[in-house]
Every structure is written in structure tokens, then in C-alpha cells.
Amino acid sequence: MSIGLLSVAITASAQGGDGRSSNFRKPTPAVMSSRLRTAAAKYQKPVRASKPVIPQTGRLSIVVNEAASRVYLTSGEDAANTQPIVVTSHSPSVISRSLPSARYNLRVSKSGYFDETRVIELEAGSRRKVVVNMRPQMAILNFKANVADAEIEIENVGRFNKPLKKYLIKPGSYRIDLRRRGYLSQTVHADLSIAGKEQSIYAVMQPLRIDTVLAQAEELISKGELIPAADLVKDVLILNSSHAKANLLFGMIEFEHGRNSSVPYFLKAIEGGETVNFPGKVRSSSNLPDAAFGLDRDAIIIGSKSRLDLNFKITRAELETVLRQDDGIVLTGAGDFLGKSIHPTVKIVSGSTEILYLLISEWRKLRK
């Protein structure tokens, strides 16, 4: 036996039904306490399910068909205190925002187009997509030609040197003139009387014939309009740098400007079969009758309407000397006058002595 909290272990001998004895031990208080704690640990109190999170915002997407549109979005409940969202973008404009659930006022604007407005109810957790197609207040013109730098002139509107893309124009009917040097001019009529109507025009310009272009240039030279004449001739020389008539005309333009650069153009013209003529005077005794001085591939040609005796030519092979003086050029050589052989000394008086001297000097070097 033990005293106090100590347990007492009792050993007994008993006779069983089979005549054998059995031993047993009574559980102590410590063992009982451990069993109670184990049973308590296996019991769990039921857990209540959490409430779902309710979203407070919605997702709004706005798509605008016109580039650079300005998009204003204000809260319908407090529009006075809400700053608008202004968005400038490429076409199409796409704006996406997460916004508190509310009623919103949408306004989209662009110069030349009618304002578009919408009222949008945005609920919490929802997704809304709004597509806005802007309607133009003006007519729309697209104009293009097969010649990129052609001049486009729209009646009562203006001139343009490049293709027009989505050009806004007041509704009406218009005459459109298309020009480019070296090409036939064209006139197109466009009906743009309906606001918002878009019309696309593609014009095919036909090139002028070279002889037509050069005839125009020659006429301009005779009028003293050297710059536009030069532009026309340059177009031909780009296509064919050896074109005899084009070289002759461009040489004349350079000659009128007093430029020595006219000489190589004249030489190309002569090699191509053209005759280069210059106005001037021919000294004979004390007189200076008007005469035409010319060069072709084979000879220098002198011609005077007032003096038949001054109508003769000196071949390149028979030209003996070329003397440059302050007021002109003196030529000597064997010539031909009305089928008769002569040996003249001729002084050609011109205001372009230097150019003529260079030309004759280089002309003598041409291959026969």
C-alpha cells in the first residue's frame, strides 16, 4: 500500500474456472487523464463558410473609329466634380478602364465631325464595350494620281503637290485640275454634295509626246519664259540625254543666260544633226548688216537678207583661222558663194563673243 497520491498495486490470486490464476492492474489517475486529453483533441468545432467578395468596380472598353478623337467620360451622379478623361490615339482609339459602378456620360468629339454621346450603366463586376463611329460634318476626298508629284488644284480650295488622304471638304461639286510637266493635263469632276460621303479618285496621267513637249518649250523660250522651258527640256533629257533637239533648246536657254555651259549642249545637238543658229552682225567694209550665223556638222553658215553677197558657207575642213577680238570673231578660209569658190575674211560681231569662240573651237575638234 502507498500513502497519499500514490496508487496501490494489489496482487491477487484467484482461481479461475480452469484452475489457473490471473493477475490484473487497475489504471492509475495519470493514465485516465491522458486518455481524456486524447479524446478532447479529436473533437473540432465546426467552421462557418466565409462570405464571397462582391466586386465594387466594372470594366469599360470604348472603341472609336477615328484617330485623334477626344473622349470625355464623366460620372452621371457627380458630373460637376469629375474630371473628364481626354484621350488622343491612333485609329482606332481604344480605351479600357476599371471604374466604380455608376451611370456615366460619354462624349466623343473631333474637329470636322459631329459629337457622339452615350449614357452607360456600369454595374459592379460587369464588362461593357461601347463602339462609337464618328460621323463627319464634311465630305471626304481621297485623290491620287499615277504621277506622285503631280499638282492637284481643287476649284476654290487650293493647290496640293501630294496625294490627298481623307481630306475634309465642304459639301458640294468640285472641278479638280491635275497637272505635271511632260504629261497631258486632266480635269476631273467630283460630286461631294453629301456630308459624310467619302469619294476616292485615282487619275492616270498620259505622258506627252517628246515632240509636243519640245514644241511647248520652244514657244516658252520665244516668250522669254526660260525657267518653265528648262523644266520641260530637262524631262526629255532625263529620258534621252542625247536627244538632239532637246540639247539644242537647253543650249539656247543656257546661252540666253550668258553661260559657257551652253557649249556642250550645242555640240551634242550638232552631232545629232541639228543646226545651231545665232543672231548677229557681219562686218563688211563700213557696214554691219544683220546676219544669221549658224553651225551644222560640216560648215559655218552665214546668211543675210539685206546682202546677198554675205550668204555663203565655210566648211570645217576649209576653215583656216579663228581669231577672237574684243567685239567679235574673225574667220578666214575658203568658202562657197552661189556655187563659186571664194576666200573671205569675215568678222562676226556678237554680244556673246566668248561663247561663240569656245563653240567654234570645240566644233573644229568634232570627228568627221
Report the C-alpha gap between 233 and 243 in whole angstroms. 10
Residue predicted with more confidence, 199 or 284: 199
For the ranges 48-52, 178-182, 341-345, the lowest mean pLDDT is seen at: 48-52
DSSP 8-state secondary structure symbol assigned to residue 43: -
Average pLDDT over residues 320-346: 81
C-alpha cell read off for 255: 546661252
| Start-end of H helices in the chain | 29-41, 210-222, 226-239, 244-256, 262-271, 353-363
Report the C-alpha gap between 239 and 259 in whole angstroms. 24
Average pLDDT over residues 340-350: 78
For the ranges 84-98, 120-134, 204-218, the lowest mean pLDDT is seen at: 84-98
Average pLDDT over residues 15-32: 51
Average pLDDT over residues 104-116: 88
Report the C-alpha gap between 298 and 317 in whole angstroms. 8
CATH class of 276-363: mainly beta
Residue predicted with more confidence, 88 or 306: 306
Position 78 scores a pLDDT of: 56
> Domain 139-203, CATH 2.60.40.1120 — does that match?
yes
Which amino acid is residue 71, in one-letter code?
V
For the ranges 196-205, 271-280, 298-307, the lowest mean pLDDT is seen at: 298-307
CATH class of 57-132: mainly beta
Domain boundaries along the sequence of the chain: 57-132, 139-203, 210-271, 276-363
Position 208 scores a pLDDT of: 81
Average pLDDT over residues 330-342: 78
Q: In this model, does residue 183 exceed pLDDT 50? A: yes
Residue predicted with more confidence, 44 or 361: 361
Locate cell 484617330: which residue? 67
The three-point CA angle 66-70-74 to 5° equals 130
For the ranges 44-53, 235-244, 248-257, 336-345, the lowest mean pLDDT is seen at: 44-53
Average pLDDT over residues 70-74: 86
φ, ψ dihedrals at 267, nearest 5° = -65, -40
Name every residue whose Cβ is closer than 8 Å to that of residue 203 and which is 6 or more positions away in sequence: 143, 144, 145, 146, 150, 178, 186, 188
Residue predicted with more confidence, 29 or 164: 164
Q: In this model, does residue 311 exceed pLDDT 50? A: yes
Q: In this model, does residue 306 exceed pLDDT 50? A: yes
Q: In this model, does residue 256 exceed pLDDT 60? A: yes
Banded pLDDT at 2 (limits 50, 70, 90)? very low
Q: In this model, does residue 251 exceed pLDDT 90? A: yes
CATH topology match: 57-132 vs 210-271: no
Q: In this model, does residue 297 exceed pLDDT 60? A: yes
Measuring CA to CA, how many Å separate 58 from each of 98, 123, 294, 360? 6, 6, 91, 91
115-139, pLDDT tens digit by residue? 999 999 999 999 999 999 988 888 9
C-alpha cell read off for 225: 519664259
- Say if residues 109 and 115 touch (Cβ distance below 8 Å): yes
Which amino acid is residue 349, in one-letter code?
V
How many CB atoms within 10 Å of residue 59?
A: 15
C-alpha cell read off for 31: 493514465
- Say if residues 246 and 232 touch (Cβ distance below 8 Å): no
Name every residue whose Cβ is closer than 8 Å to that of residue 171 and which is 6 or more positions away in sequence: 138, 139, 192, 193, 194, 195, 197
pLDDT averaged over the chain? 80
148-168, pLDDT tens digit by residue? 899 999 999 999 999 999 999
> Domain 210-271, CATH 1.25.40.10 — does that match?
yes
Average pLDDT over residues 104-113: 87
